Amino acid sequence: MKKSTLITSLLVMLLWLPAAFAEDAAYDQLPEDRVLYIAPGQSLSALVERLYPDRPDRWAEIRDWIVNNNSHAFVGGDPDRLRADVRVKLPSGSELAERDPYSPAPAEETDAETAAALEFRDRYVFVDPAQSLSELVPRLYPGQRERWGDIIGAILERNNDRLADMDGDNRIRRGTRLRIPESPAARPARGADSEAEPETGAATAPTEPVVAAVVSRTGELHAVDATDRRRDLTADEPIRRGDTLHTGEAGRAEIEFRDGERVFLRPGSRLRVRDWNLPDTGPGTRIVELLEGGLRAVTGAIGNRDEDTYRTVSQQTTLGIRGTEYSLRICAEDECRPDGAGSDALSEGLYVGVDKGRVSLLNESGETTVQAGQLRYVAGPASAPVEADRQVTDILYTEAEQAAQAEETMAATEAAEESGDEGTHWGWILLGIVLLGAAL
């Protein structure tokens, strides 16, 4: 063989090896949880098998569900022609179950003229980004168009001191903390043909959309909607926009939102779903408020793109993310004792732990980024986040979650070591080939 031919062959081999490894790497980088954005080159079959590996007997059914519920994602409705860079709805575990909690309930007409008066409780919002009330209010109260003017007037009245420095176009400074009213409730309209008055306390049909479902729960779990109606929740029960979830002193719950996000509620927690929307195209919105207790969240599709609005609000700060896992715990005075009843209590305030990705914390002190593996403490709405002691891990994570984190860390370390060994192995092979070519 001629020397030039051999050198050409060696160069082709060197170019081929990185491409081969790149294919495996691209597959390994697919998210473990369900995703709704389709990358170029993905097929529907490969996507389904990757996202639902434990349901091979239902892959065909899942493919059909995706095709039937995402006509915009397929060229000419052809299942084999999946568009790239589109948002796709995927069935959750609850939707694959025999009972479907996501079926919309019939809406009931309401009378805007008999709407309840605006009420101000302990509800706040941090303005992010800088915007006017005419932009902010429609996002916070999307179903109350007829009362936007009343709400803007009420916010101006209750926050006169905070809004005194608005600029010429009425834009509110980023990071401003505003007190805002509860979502106003409207009384169901009574038609002229109604045969009888409803029983006292009788529930009317909910009008807010279903945004999540209960995956599992132990102990007490109930929801209170925007009109103060209470209902007990069990597995597969739907959760609607505007609901406030309550767990008992020994209660725990796993909630799954329609974009795949999973939220694990701790005992003695209150979580309000203030706004949630996932359109087929365009940015998604997810705003929840932690009022008491704690949670751990594994994010879904909302928050994966810069245009999305993902916020977890508390009295101390507003948390924003971009594809991550994190835990929050609000500690009241003398409430949180990591080492048991006989140990010293932690300072009251908000504790934050980040498992993967990163989060941003925004309050009156400014904005702070918290990376994976870091712990932070926020004393109040005007306090900057500070580093927290490792002992707060026990109030942020259960023993099972801490054990799972340790296993993940060990597996990642072993994988990195194996990758290094394999790279060394191929390095010796390539060096041998180069030396052989030079000798010839």
**CA distances for 117 relative to 150, 194, 268, angstroms:** 10, 26, 30
Span 322-340, mean pLDDT? 88
pLDDT at residue 239 tops 80 = yes
pTM of this prediction? 0.57
pLDDT tens, residue by residue, 172-200: 887 788 888 876 654 343 443 433 333 33
The region of weakest confidence among 6-10, 97-101, 404-408 is 97-101
Confidence of residue 326 (pLDDT cuts 50, 70, 90): very high
pLDDT tens, residue by residue, 83-123: 876 777 777 555 565 434 444 444 444 444 444 577 776 67
Tokens coding 75: 């060229």
The region of weakest confidence among 104-108, 270-274, 318-322 is 104-108
Tokens coding 362: 């925004």
For residues 315 and 344, the answer to whether their CB atoms sit within 8 Å is no
Q: 176: exposed, middle or buried (C-beta count within 10 Å: 0-12, 13-18, 19+)?
A: middle
Residue with more model confidence, 420 or 389: 389
Residue with more model confidence, 43 or 225: 225
Q: What are phi and psi of 402, to 5 degrees?
A: -65, -40
- Count of alpha carbons within 13 angstroms of residue 339, beta-carbon side: 6
Confidence of residue 52 (pLDDT cuts 50, 70, 90): confident
Preceding amide of 129 cis, omega within 30: yes
